[in-house]
Amino acid sequence: MSPGVVRVTLDGASRWRRRSGEYPTLGEALAAAEAGDTVTIGAGVFRETVLVDKPVTLRSADGPGSVRVEPPTGSALVLLASASVQGLHLEGQDSSAPAVLIDGGAPELTDCRVQTRSSVGIEVRGPDAEPRIRRVTVENSGGLGLRVSDEARALVEDCEVFAAAQSGIVVRGAASLLLERTKVRQVTGAGLVLTGPGSQLSAVDCEFHDINGNGVQADDRAEGLLSGCAVHRVTDNGLVLDTEASLTLTGSRLHEIPENAADLRGRASLTLRQTTLRSFGRNGLSVWDPGTHVEAVGCDIRDSTGDYPAVWVISGATATLTDCDVRDVPDALYVLDRGSAATAVNCSLTQVRATAVSVSAGASVRLDRLRVQDAGTGMWFRDHGTAGELTACEVADTGTGVIVTKGADPRLEDCLVRGSLEAAVYVSAGGRGTFTGCTASHGKGYGFHVIDGCPTHLVRCRAEQNARSGFEFSEPGPVTEDCVSDDARPAPQPAVSVREHAAAAAYVPAPRAEAAPIAPLPEVRPADEALADLDALVGLATVKQEVRTLIDLISVGRRRQQAGLKAPSLRRHLVFTGSPGTGKTTVARLYGEILGSLGVLQRGHLVEVSRMDLVGEHIGATAQRTAECFDRARGGVLFIDEAYALAPEDSGRDFGREAIDTLVKLMEDHRDEVVVIVAGYTAEMERFLSANPGVASRFSRTITFPDYSADELLEITRSQAVEHEYALADATESRLREHFAALPKGPTFGNGRTARLVFEGMVERHAVRVAQLPNPTTEELQILLPEDLR
């Protein structure tokens, strides 16, 4: 026997063998060993807990796998010192204890296999624990694979965690883990969980696949770095970041993911460098909430299998993309909600089935040298408050190149739009926009098509080789300066130079190409179907009765006319009063549909406008805008939301009164062609009705939309749950009713919108809760509990 070697053999029971350094149990051998000794273990099964509290080496004498440690209770191995354990097979049978517990020192665990049904396969905990775990496999059908917690620091190399009943690897409690060349597969729950302030992870060349949950999940101010890692074949999201978590991915791959490749919210931060996101079912990047930010550099985002935008930035979040390629997706970049912003520099968006860039609801973008090719729509700036700064961008081979509508006001400089099937640039419905040094070329439609008198500004713009014409404006035209078109058509036309002088538009468009045929009106559905939709709305009993009374008057009046009798005089224009979210727009739309199906209106469609759509910036512009909006509503309903804004208390030289005067005259001149509905708060609408002597007489009926009661808000939430295949527990309904009853019903109360927001919040918290369950049932995946409401 060599000095410093202690042997363990199952037949070493004699006193002589003990004196010669050979012992029958691991406990006896470890008690006899001194610091620095090596304990060699003969083949066999040892049914005892191995407690190592001194710096010794334990190794199997006959190679890895020949020694099995299977205690009936407790942990198979407990390491409390800087020992070395090599080649053991460790099996835990106690569901209340980890199979391997490391609680101190800097031990090394090498070439071991942990096969267990324990709460945790390997638990590393405490500020004094700094283990190195190499070439170890962990299989735990009873719980977590590996957990590092309570300020411990661990190095894990060339390991494998699989078949865990819960998450694969968890880092929490200000712990730190360096993970290298490790695989996590076939686990229930997240592949990797990083949580808690001070918790840190660095994963290099690791792989997470076949995960029945999220691939990587980080929250609560944890920080992580993934370099050269792969996340694929998961059932939920590839990455989930929440509550100020911070994660950086470099040279990694996320693919074969049915939900979001990366989902961020709660002021989380994600940095992606040279990372690939592909084959995802929802969003490639889904970024939520103020303070949440994603930065992607040199990334490849492609091959969406669903119907969602590749990059989705909402609710005040921000995103920055640099040198990225987005390809083969339904929509590429969607930015919406006030405060949401996205920056894209030197990026490429190609093979986009719908819209490459969509900006709406007050969001903004900054696009520099962005390339869009082969898309349904290149860029769409949709509504009021929406903005963009675009420099040296190129949009090619799209249906429509750039669309600006409803008060959106982007600024484009030195941009090129070519090969569009329709207009290269299309501005309508109150859109604005400034185009400087931009070119529209080789399109099959118009180059710059501006209608509805939109206050667009074109400076040094050029139209080349467009099939219909270079510039097509409705009167009054946009402000133009030094714009040039060759007006390419089958018959060559001379070049046109355009310059704007003062407020009066000087541009006269070239003769129009033959107008495209007008599309047939959509089929109007039967009145009974629209009435059924009206009846299906939650609450609003008095509103429904008022609308039915109007419909009855109209129906009986038509029958009286058919019988040769006089029909009762009926004014169909309405005033809707009440708080936001009470269904005013929905009822207006259904009212129009019913009138259309009864033949009272030609189409019954709804045109929704506000002050920004009606009021211009100089004398004469307001009347023109109002007339254009009224014309769009011909045969349907013109719905003016927050109509009181046209009659401010301190009107001064405000042009809102001009809009009201124009509207009153149009309602009289075209009384049978358009139904006008004005809506707003009750007190403010009284001011609107007194703004012009003819207004009140034309709106003879006011319908008040009451705030929803707590029971009605609960019913809305219940219907949302049914629609999305969730269920409310009885206790949850009670809590919801109490919650809604306690909400203040002030001017900012959102009514139905509030109920929908509450439901969405419950769904998010339900997802966070259920993600921690080892194997959730179908009922657990559906049921919303009281704790999901907060």
Residue 126 near residue 103, CB atoms below 8 Å: yes
Q: Distance between CA atoms of 86 and 107, rounded to whole angstroms?
A: 11
In tens, the pLDDT along 672-721 reads 788 899 888 877 887 777 766 667 777 768 888 888 888 888 888 888 88
Residue 226 confidence (pLDDT): 97
Q: Which domains does the chain have, with CATH numbers?
A: 210-329 (no CATH), 331-510 (2.160.20), 527-705 (3.40.50.300), 710-788 (1.10.8.60)
Q: How many CB atoms lie within 10 A of CB 480?
A: 23
Classify 289 in phi/psi space as left (phi over 0), alpha (psi -120 to 50) or beta. left
Give the C-alpha separation, 113 to 60, whole Å: 12
Phi, psi of 55 (to 5 degrees): -75, 80
CA angle at residue 741 from 739 to 743, to 5 degrees? 70
Q: Give the type of residue at 589.
A: R
Residue 244: both structure tokens together: 């100020």
Q: Which residues of the chain have pLDDT under 50?
A: 1, 16, 488-522
User: Which DSSP category does 725 fall into?
Assistant: T
CB-based contact 543:703 (threshold 8 Å):
yes
Q: What is the pLDDT of residue 622?
A: 80
Taking alpha carbons only, the member of 478, 481, 440 closest to residue 460 is 481
Q: What ranges in 226-290 are assigned the alpha helix state H?
A: none
Check residue 746 and report its DSSP letter. Answer: S
Q: What is the pLDDT of residue 18?
A: 59
CA distance 393 to 373: 11
pLDDT of residue 567: 67
Whether the CB-CB separation of 263 and 294 falls below 8 Å is answered with no
Tell me which residue has tokens 């309602």. Answer: 667
Residues pairing with 394 in the sheet: 371, 416
Neighbour tally for 560: CB within 10 Å: 13
DSSP secondary structure letter of residue 241: E
Do residues 92 and 68 make contact, with C-beta atoms less than 8 angstroms apart?
no
